Chains A and B, each alone.
Chain A
Amino acid sequence: DTGVSQDPRHKITKRGQNVTFRCDPISEHNRLYWYRQTLGQGPEFLTYFQNEAQLEKSRLLSDRFSAERPKGSFSTLEIQRTEQGDSAMYLCAGSGANYGYTFGSGTRLTVV
């Protein structure tokens, strides 16, 4: 248990459906990050929050992707009209002081 929880662990969805993932960081994590990892690649930055404010979004994050962090606690990542290319592991990480990142175990999305 890393202290950063992600739900669900696995999600299989049909192309065109919407999916939502949740991340619960440790309470001390004022920053929360979303990354995407595909097979054979390193994690790619998607977006991050400082408390409840979304401060940066990657160009990888198309209009079909949206993330929220209401009240600066948990965060959700929604993908609308999923495509097969969205199949990946979606990682959440919390960060506090000293650049310390704590990663969750990820949500593996398979779009069929």
Chain B
Amino acid sequence: AQSVSQHNHHVILSEAASLELGCNYSYGGTVNLFWYVQYPGQHLQLLLKYFSGDPLVKGIKGFEAEFIKSKFSFNLRKPSVQWSDTAEYFCALYNTDKLIFGTGTRLQVFP
């Protein structure tokens, strides 16, 4: 069965630090991958998505993700985080007409 794993459950960083959140998926076919963010008390919002083409995908708010097929990974990165990036981040795989989410990574950024 298809699945998404996020091994970093809780990440704590200081402002200006670099960020990389891991995401691995389990699926042998063509993948469509997403990163969503959920700010405290708010709804899920799309950060970026990968369908095909350039494996380095740029999203909103300075985030990017790299699709590495050989590693079944789609890690999220940001070179310099801000306090306002404090949120929960979810990686998701689109398959059989629905999104399958990972368990999420809680990011706390301290000034």
Contacts and interface: CB of A to CB of B under 8 A. Distances in A.
Contacts, number: 49
Grouping DSSP codes into helix (H, G, I), strand (E, B) and loop, the A interface class, with mixed when no group exceeds half, is strand
A99 B49 contact: yes
Contacts of A31: 97
A42 B32 contact: no
Grouping DSSP codes into helix (H, G, I), strand (E, B) and loop, the B interface class, with mixed when no group exceeds half, is strand
B42 A42 contact: no
B99 A45 contact: yes
Contacts of B97: 31, 48, 55-56
A67 interface: no
B84 to A, nearest CB: 19
A43 B44 contact: yes
Nearest to A91: B44
Contacts of A35: 101
Given A2-B43, A101-B46, A41 B98 contact: no
Contacts of B98: 33, 45, 48, 56
Interface stretch (A14-22, A68-76, A80-88, A102-110): A102-110
B43 A42 contact: no
B14 to A, nearest CB: 24
Interface of B: 4, 6, 9, 32, 42-46, 49, 51, 90, 92, 94, 96-104
Interface of A: 2, 31, 33, 35, 40-45, 48, 55-56, 91, 93, 99-101, 103-106
5 contacts: A31-B97, A42-B90, A45-B99, A91-B43, A105-B43
